[in-house]
Amino acid sequence: MAYDIVVLQADLFPAFAAYMDDHLRDNGIGNTSLFQPLAAADCRFDVDRAERFSSALCASTDGPGWRRAWVAMNNAGAVVGHVDLRDTPLPYTRHRCLLGMGVDRHHRGAGLGRQLLETATKWAIGRGWIDWIDLQVISSNAPAVRLYEKAGFVQTGSTSDLFRFDQRSVDSNSMSLRLKPSPDA
């Protein structure tokens, strides 16, 4: 199936919000690995979360609180995947950003995750001032860990028992992709 990957803009936000709400409800259900540290009761893209996401899309990348996102559309015009980059909420880290992504359960295994990751990476390289893409992935989320490793991300750490919810303990890995050599190299 052919997909178009486009910048998430205001006109697409309602369709994106509906996709995200459905996507989050898939967290750890059936064949889908747990991919968000969210208790079952919180797996919703509620109004507050949507508002924060939407506002950050409008924030300038010159300051804090920015986010940029891309969505994959199928040939029926439905949103079936997403990737987003956002700033790191720590001082003196303008040279880094954080990545999040997902693909609708019916469209996985067709290369869309790889294409979305390439889109975000290309955008980050094009900025010129982003040297690293960082992410957090739940350690047991093998499809995502493998996708990131294949794209060149390297595991930089792992925290056992980082989250506890729904009577479970969840480990998390940190992974990073270096886009440019360090200034000291």
Ligand X SMILES: CC(C)(COP(=O)(O)OP(=O)(O)OC[C@H]1O[C@@H](n2cnc3c(N)ncnc32)[C@H](O)[C@@H]1OP(=O)(O)O)[C@@H](O)C(=O)NCCC(=O)NCCS
- Interface residues toward ligand X, by CB under 6 A: 32, 35, 101-103, 108-114, 137, 141-144, 146-147, 150
Smallest gap, in angstroms, from Cβ of residue 134 to ligand X?
A: 11
Q: Looking at beta carbons only, is 71 or 144 nearer to ligand X?
A: 144
Distances (CA, A) of 109 to 6, 20, 51, 131, 151: 20, 19, 31, 29, 15
- Closest approach of ligand X to the CB of residue 101, in Å: 5
1 vs 185 by CB, closer to ligand X: 1
CB atoms within 10 A of CB 171: 13
In the complex with ligand X, the residue whose CB is nearer, 51 or 149, is 149
| Nearest-approach distance from CB 56 to ligand X, in angstroms | 18
CB of 123 to ligand X, least distance (A): 17
